[in-house]
Amino acid sequence: MSTIAPGPRVTGLETEFGVLCAPVGTPEAVKADLPDVERAAALIFRHRPVGYRSTNLFLPNGGRLYLDIGAHPEYATAECVSVRDLVAQDQAGRAILAAMAERAATGLAQERAPVRFHLLANNTDSAGHTYGCHESYSVPRSLLDATDHPAGAGTDTTMAVLTSFLATRPVLVGSGRSLAGGPAGPSEDSRGAGDEEAAWGLSPRAPTCRP
């Protein structure tokens, strides 16, 4: 067994946000031409922090805020070495986007009835496909190539451990999403509609994957 203590772990988060523009008050008081998703996202990014001209912002805190394909905002934190810093970075991104949405709603209210922009952090699209965090693992070369270092484990051993971890993690931490009507197959149930207490899918991507 190796006695080498693990080094600091660098982590980061990237969050995708859905956008919705909804009326404030009774729907009858609002014109029918509410901004669609693309227009709503464009209005929000019109009120980006001062000093930026594009919709791809590299912020002073090391994070990145940008409008991705499909008209949805994304915020990527800076790389962090502690959970406290990571949470602070993630909350900072949400606060920046919330302030942008509030300014966009104020500007739009001057032209028509009051509206509210909703930014929804989610991991499921309108078709039911799921997506999670991007993960990268930085390891010493000796961990992958046993010939470089006597303590090296080799690629086969390392990948066996990593894949076992990735396969069992959803069960250990309860990762997943709600499914309607029991275990989901390639049907409407796989989109997670209906009673959230009907079933819980520990592998959220499996029902929507196709060969």
pLDDT for position 169: 80
68: annotated active-site residue: yes
pLDDT in tens, 136-179: 677 777 776 655 545 545 677 778 888 888 888 878 876 666 66
- pTM comes to 0.66
pLDDT band at 99 (very low <50, low <70, confident <90, very high): very high
pLDDT at position 90 over 80? yes
Which contacts of 196-205 are long-range, i.e. CB under 8 A and separated by 24 or more positions?
200/174, 200/176, 201/176, 201/177, 202/170, 202/171, 202/174, 202/175, 202/176, 203/170, 203/176, 204/123, 204/124, 204/130, 204/132, 204/175, 204/176, 204/177, 205/130, 205/132
Q: What are phi and psi of 43, to 5 degrees?
A: -65, -40
pLDDT for position 13: 86
Check if the beta carbon of residue 21 is closer than 8 Å to that of residue 40: yes
Q: What gap in Å lies between CA 93 and CA 194, rounded to an integer?
A: 31
pLDDT at position 71 over 70? yes
Mean pLDDT over 68-86 rounds to: 89
pLDDT in tens, 172-181: 876 666 666 5
Q: What gap in Å lies between CA 208 and CA 203, rounded to an integer?
A: 10
* Catalytic residue (choose from 33, 36, 68, 195): 68
Q: Which of 22-46 are b and which e, b meaning 16 or more Cβ less than 10 Å from the residue's Cβ?
A: ebeeeeeebeeebbeeeebbbbbbe
pLDDT band at 185 (very low <50, low <70, confident <90, very high): very low
